[in-house]
Structure formats: C-alpha cells, structure tokens
Amino acid sequence: MNYKEEYNKIESYIGSLGFGWVCAQVREEIETGKLNEEKIPTLNEYSRSNQQQGFFYPADFRKGQAADFVKRSEYSDKQKLALLVEAIKRAIPELILMEAQVAAYFDNIEVISFTSDKDDKEKLEIIKREGKAIDDTRKAVEALDSLINGLGGV
C-alpha cells in the first residue's frame, strides 16, 4: 500500500465533502511533527582545589544530572495516514453519535436548532436519527478503529 497516495486520495475526497477543516488540522499536526521527550546527559564543570581557576586555565568535567529535552521528529507516511483517519473518525461519525445522544435526551423532539447570537444565518440543527443510522455509524467507527489499529496507531 502506498500510504502517501492513499492519504492524498482521502484528503481530497474529505475536502470535497466540506470537511477541509479536518484535513487542515491534520496538516498542521504533521507540520508540527511528533514531539518526544528525551533525557540527555550533561556535564558539570569542576576544578581541583590545587588548580588556579579562570578563563585561561583548563577545566575538568564530570558527568552531570540528565536533563529533559523535547525532540521533534517527522511522522512516517503510514503515521500521517493514521492521523488523518483518526481525525476523520473524531470529526464525522463521532459527531453523529454525539448528536444522537443529545437528540435522545430530548425524547419527543425531532429537530433541535441552535442559532448564532451574532448572525441569524448561522444555524446548527440536531436531527433525531433512526436506530439503523446510529448502528451504521457505530459500525463505521469500529471499521475506522480497526483501520487505525492496522496502521499501527498514531
């Protein structure tokens, strides 16, 4: 499997569906890279009591206490694909499942609408979905989980 090619296909498809913001967030994460904390040994300067001290006199060093440093590394193509699939999973099907939970809380209401205080045109509707749609969404989440696990996770 060519992970880079698959990544590009999925990214363009998701973008065409109006979820370009998901891809943008993933690209930002990829540009940042993986940040790993690493212990690096340090040296402490010391001088013998019988030596003169100063800029022009040689110093002696001993192993010091290890210090924590953050090291940045690149994601592999496989990890980039796993990041994209994980982001898609969180942004789309999990959003539908959350929507279903909110709709289920308001048992007798078919549609819940949220309107922006600033702009009446900005509107979010939560639609009560049928059980089959929710089951299909759960299956999609499970399929995405198995794909992510097959890619070795993130």
- Which residues of the chain carry a pLDDT beneath 70? 47-59, 103, 107, 109-110, 112, 114, 116, 120-134, 152-154
Q: Find where tokens 């999973």 sit.
A: 89
Q: Name the 3-class secondary structure at 101.
A: helix
Output the six-digit token pair for 2: 């060519």
The partner residues of 74 in beta bridges, in order of sequence, read none
The residues spanned by each domain of the chain are 3-33+74-150, 34-73
Q: Are 37 and 70 in contact (CB under 8 A)?
A: yes
First CA to last CA across the chain, in angstroms?
18
pLDDT in tens, 89-132: 888 777 777 777 776 777 676 676 767 677 766 666 666 666 66
The C-alpha atoms of residue 102 and residue 112 are separated, in whole angstroms, by 9
Q: How much is the pTM?
A: 0.58
Q: Name the 3-class secondary structure at 28.
A: helix
